[in-house]
Structure 1
Amino acid sequence: MIRKLEHIGVKVKDMDASVRFYTEVLGMKLRKRAKLQDGVELGFLSFPDSDNIEIELIGRGHDGLPNESIVHHIAFTVTDIQAEIDRLKSFGVELMDETPRTILDGDLIAFFFGPDGERLEFFQPAGQ
C-alpha cells in the first residue's frame, strides 16, 4: 500500500547555491545533507512545520550529472500568491509569470525558476 509521497529529487549543479535558494528564498529547512561514497551529494529539505514531503537535492559537484529524466515542476501552496511573486522579485528570481494565472475553477498559479533552471510553481487554491 502506498502511503504518501516521500520526496521529489532535483538534480543541482551547486549544492550550496541550491540549499541557500530553497532555505532563504522559499523558507524550507535543511533536514539532512551528506556525501555518498560515489561522490554524489544529497540534501533533504522540507518546510519547518511539515516534514511530510521533502525535496531531495542531488549533486555531483563539478563533474556534472548524468543526463537523466528531469522533474517538470514542483508546486508550493501559498496563501497570497501576488505577495510571494513580489517577494521573489526582491530576490531577483527569474519569473515565468509576473502576475498569477487563473486555471480550472479559480485556482491561481505562477511559475518561476530555481538556481539550476528547475521549474517551480506557486499555487493558491480558489477562494483564498
Structure 2
Amino acid sequence: MNMIKKLEHTGIMVSDMDRSLDFYQNVLGLKLRLREALNDEVELAFLAFPGEDAVEVELIGGRGVGEQEGRVNHLAFSVDNIEAELERLASFGVKLVDESPRSILNGTVKIAFFEGPDGEKLELVER
C-alpha cells in the first residue's frame, strides 16, 4: 500500500515575483533553489530554508495568476523567541496582525500572525 511520505511544497499565488522573492529571502530567510518560466505566462520559484530542503515554498506568478484558483489559509514558521522575531519583522515594515503573541493550547504554544507582500497570512509558532 502506498503511503503519503511528507509535505512536498506549498504553492502561493503572487502578483509580483521579484517583490515576493525579496520578502521570502531577505525578510523570512528562505533560499531560492530554482526560478524558471513554466510557459509564456507563468513563472515559478521554489524556496527552502537552508538545511531544510525537504519542504519548499513555491511562488507562482505571472499573467492571470491573480484569480482565485485555490487558496492556502496560512504558512507557519517555527521560531525560538517569538517576541524578538515580531520585533525583527516590524523593523522591515511587515504588517503584523498580532503585535504581541497569543498563548494557545493551555499556554504551551505561542503564536502570532503577520502578512506577506500580497496579504498572504503567515504565522510564527514558538513551542
TM bracket, shorter-chain basis: over 0.9
Deviations 1:63-85 (A, max 9, x none): 44332221100000000000000
Paired position in structure 2 for 1:35 = 37
1:83-122 → structure 2 map (5 Å cutoff) = 83-105=84-106, 106-122=108-124
Q: 1:80 — aligned with what?
A: 81
What amino acid sits opposite 1:75 in the alignment?
A: A
Partners of 1:90 and 1:122 in 2: how far apart? 16
Distance 2:53 2:85 in 1: 21
Which residue is equivalent to 1:4?
6
What are the ranges of 5 or more consecutive residues in structure 2 without an aligned counterpart? Answer: none
Q: Aligned residues: percent identity?
A: 56
Number of aligned residues: 124
Could you report, residue by residue, the CA deviation over 1:86-115 in whole angstroms, capped at 9, with x for unpaired residues? 000100000100000000032000000000
Give 1:120 shift: 0.1
Distance 2:45 2:97 in 1: 26
RMSD across aligned C-alpha pairs, in angstroms? 1.1
The amino acid of 1:120's aligned partner reads L
TM-score, length-scaled by structure 2: 0.94
